[in-house]
Structure 1
Amino acid sequence: MINRELYMSRIRPFIGNDLIKVLTGIRRSGKSVMLDLIKQELVASGVNENQFISINFENMSNAHLCFAEALHQEISQRISEITGKAYLFFDEIQEVIHWEKCINSFRVEFNCDIYITGSNARLLSGELATYLAGRYVEFVIYPFSFGEFTELYHSIYPDSDLRSMFTQYLTSGGMPYLSNLRYAEQPSRQYLQDLYNSVVLKDIVKRNNIRDVDLLERIIAYITANIGTTFSATAISKYLKNEGRMVAPETILNYIKACEDAFLFYRVRRQDLQGKKILTVNEKYYIADHGIREAVFGGNMKDINLIFENIVYMELLRRGYKITVGKAGEKEIDFIAEKQAQKLYVQVAYLLASEETIQHEFGVYSTVRDNFPKYVVSYDEFDLSRDGFKHVNIREFLMSQQWN
């Protein structure tokens, strides 16, 4: 287990206070491990483990507690036996019917510090907004960054260098459990395929009462094949029509939203740099973990330019940036990343193999007049920076502590 300090540094200021800490993210991204890290932090600060109450609602032995009344009765009894503040840890809380009322009741009734995890973005919508408005703080937990991956991979294979670890990361992705399989190819692929099926069936189909699973899988396959490419629901509708399926764009959008809610895909809007407005057509999508893409659909090395984009996008997201795609006339900037008063522009390519490619990647910045950092990220080893625009090898970019 590695100390995921990126997240702990964000959670730490809220430990011990009365705000409910909500950890969300794709299934198996490490939310349960984060709860363990929080417990370690509490013990180190002097809290007794006897003050902890932990329940994982995907464990069948806890099935009888998946109802608000039963859970309330159980926790009330257990808290009465605790001296001092109780620390409540609830894993996959969405399995509990009317859990919002129960959690709010604990907050009001008891001297407690509450942590919950869930695998669906809708966890924080609807009734929860009513019951807990202003009383919770959310942290999205993503699969391993390349930096986290190297830390764990190097502990298993100490002789690995950064280049070989990046090659492994390209195919394996960042799901934490793969380290338990020592990143062996076949077991890792099997695990990721099973994880994908679990996300689709439990977090998308079951949670949204989707009946046409075949249609859902076709839409997922289309998006996965076209990550980093601008397209519309109408384009998917036309594609499906050619395959003999008549589907309205609105239905497609609903299915895509269900995938977003399960943290399988992330949508990126386009920003018109000249008109300074957000465009609502032809958005891009990226997958939460490119290892899942390789295991289920294959083609990561064939589509390596898009995989590079996916990896860079997820890294920007992890670090708390709000990301859009930049449109400057006929040209497009892969990512405009903004956080507080910071901004940076990022172009991603596999190799700057010709002068034409170099001109294209650096040339998109010619119409951008501000002084924020502008990067071209690629696999090239040599520094090809020019005209004040920075060129960085992708491994160095991902491992950098900060960009400026």
Structure 2
Amino acid sequence: MIDGSQLKRRDLYLDKIIAFRDTEPVKVVTGIRRCGKSSLLKLMVAHLRETGVTAPQIVEMNFESHAFQKLTADTFYDYVKQRVLQGQRMYFFFDEVQRIAGWEETVNSFRVDFDCDIYITGSNAWLLSSEYATYLAGRCVEIKMLPLSFGEFLYFHDFEVREGKSALGGMRKQVFDKNGERYEPREVFEAYMRFGGMPGIADVGLNQERALTLLDGIYSTVVIRDILEREKRRGQKQITDPALLRKIILFLADNIGSSISVSSIGRTLANEGLLEDGRRKGAPSAHTVQAYVDALLESYFFYEIKRFDIKGREYLRTLGKFYIVDIGLRSYLLGFRNRDSGHALENVVYFELLRRGYDVAIGKVDNAEVDFIATKADDKLYVQVTESMASETVRNRELAPLQKIPDNYEKIVLSLDSGLDASYEGIKSIGLIDWLLAGG
């Protein structure tokens, strides 16, 4: 078993979970499978041991393990109760706890019956559904985990960014691997865009064949365990067609960043002949497609982003957009080739904004669109994403929506080629890679 001392740290999340140590709320770590939730729990266990908590005070259970697969809610309670030390603070770590039917009542009983601090993980948003809230309403805090950021990708793959003087007298960044080989940041960023941020890629290396095998395993596990098996546990029969599910996944992956209505997905698949399997005739109903899309959102495979009318200050019910949680999974699904790179860059920026704690929406201002409005507390940021700002035509297109916004919050354009000017009438032009690195 790997302990926390052997793992790469994810300080963004570890700091959050440490901040809630020994507080009443149950700490719930959510996110797509294999994004690092189990490792985060091990890092927290290592932190506890470093601060004086003894091994017998810690109970760890991974419900993916065969050892725990036959537990019921009652035997789960008994297993933990037998390990509780009288008069001592206990720390409970339950990984993928949703695999136990009735786990909600059991976890709540621990909270009531014992002097304990509880940490759980789950790979499906159903974990925090209304059923769960019935037992722990107001008594849980969610830590949302994502695959590796670009900065974390560099760290996990043993790259180091160094800054030195350029030939023009300014400063430039270069990237070095553990053998001292030197790369331009753009090269390494292209590797990130190709392979994505699943932590397991660092174990197999930046090798396309091995990466595909790992990503295929993640995909299969999400589809089978977190979507198809979830339906069985809930006693529902809405998600019954694995072939249709895959078609919808491929459609959404191919159309990240595009305006999509759920009702149009089925029609498009039928019109393009993508449902011809000898059995299906016509398009699936909008209700059916919505159920499949909801399952993908609940499993954290895709995220949906809504539109916000900047001048009217209200969310709109018109078409939203979808982004895939890991750009490497998109490469696995659609092939390792450069396709729709503009929307792929948007995808990376969207999740980076989420990591930085922003709530994110698409901005509508008159008939123009701003890629992202990012808000938190009293801060707001307007973001446009494009491949290059070198062309005057592109500059005008990207700047025009931002210039229409009447407030004075920060407005930026992120691009791989930020052009010669650092700003245009107060709108900053920033290199995307530099922006990503600034986030750590």
After TM superposition, the score normalised by the length of structure 2 is 0.88
Whether 1:137 aligns to 2:141 is yes
Task: Provide the rounded CA distance (Å) in 2 between the counterparts of 1:83 and 1:54.
Answer: 19
The answer to whether the 8 Å contact 2:390/2:419 transfers is no
Following the alignment from structure 1 to structure 2, what is the Cα–Cα distance between the partners of residues 353 and 237? 39
Q: What SS does the aligned partner of 1:196 have?
A: helix
Does the 8 Å contact 2:250/2:333 carry over to 1?
A: no
Q: What displacement does 1:383 show?
A: 4.2
Alignment counterpart, residue 253 of structure 2, candidates 224, 240, 245: 224
Shift of 1:37: 1.3
How far, CA to CA, are the matches of 1:370 and 1:274 in structure 2? 10
User: 2:308 matched to which residue of 1?
Assistant: 271
Number of aligned residues: 400
What is the match of residue 364 of structure 1? 401
Instruction: Say whether residues 1:34 and 2:40 are aligned partners.
Output: yes
Give the conservation status (yes or no) of the 8 Å contact 1:88–1:113: yes
2:387 alignment partner, SS class: coil
CA contact (8 A) 2:390 2:418 kept: no
Matches within 5 A, 1:349-388: 349-380=386-417, 382-384=419-421, 385-388=423-426
| Overall identity of the aligned pairs, in % | 38
Matches within 5 A, 1:313-328: 313-328=350-365
Change (3 A) 1:291 1:354: same
Once residues 282 and 47 of structure 2 are traced to their aligned partners in structure 1, the CA distance between those partners, rounded to angstroms, is 53
Structure 1 residue 50 displacement after superposition:
2.2
Name whichever structure is richer in helix by fraction: 1
Q: TM-score, normalised by structure 1?
A: 0.95
Aligned counterparts, 1:83-232, within 5 A: 84-154=88-158, 157-158=177-178, 159-161=181-183, 162-208=185-231, 209=237, 210-232=239-261
1:77 maps onto 2:82 in alignment: yes
- The two structures, once aligned, show a CA RMSD in angstroms of 1.6
SS of match in other structure, 1:106: helix
Query: C-alpha separation between the residues in 1 aligned to 2:414 and 2:338?
Result: 17
Where does the alignment leave 5 or more consecutive residues of structure 1 unmatched?
none
Q: Distance in 2 between matches of 1:383 and 1:42?
A: 50
Q: Deviation per CA, 1:59-98, whole angstroms, max 9, x where unpaired?
A: 1122122x10010111111114x66111111100010110
SS in structure 2 opposite 1:305?
Answer: helix
Which residue number in structure 2 is paired with residue 397 of structure 1? 435
Distance 1:234 1:284 in 2: 14
Distance 1:358 1:382 in 2: 9
Q: State the secondary structure of the residue aligned to 1:115.
A: strand
Q: Residue type matched to 1:69 in 2?
A: D
Unaligned runs of 5+ in 2: 1-6, 161-176, 232-236, 274-280
Partner of 2:69, secondary structure, is helix
Distance 2:370 2:48 in 1: 44
Whole-angstrom distance in 1 between the partners of 2:349 and 2:384 = 10
| Structure 2 residue matching 1:350: 3-state secondary structure | strand
> What's the secondary structure of 2:22's corresponding residue?
coil
Once the two structures are TM-superposed, the CA of residue 391 in structure 1 deviates from its matched residue by 0.7
Match of 1:253? 290
Amino acid aligned to 1:365: L
**Structure 1 residues 260-269 or 390-399, which shifts more?**
390-399
Output the CA distance in 1 between the equivalents of 2:384 and 2:242: 36
Q: C-alpha displacement at 1:279, in angstroms? A: 0.9
Say which SS state the counterpart of residue 369 (structure 2) adopts.
strand
Partner Cα separation in structure 2 for residue 378 and residue 284 of structure 1: 20
Measured after TM superposition, the shift of residue 353 of structure 1 is: 4.3
**Corresponding letter in the other structure for 1:199:** V
Of 97-106 and 381-390, more deviation after overlay is shown by: 381-390
Q: Please report how far the alpha carbon of residue 347 of structure 1 lies from its aligned counterpart in structure 2 after TM superposition.
A: 0.4
SS of residue matched to 2:388: coil
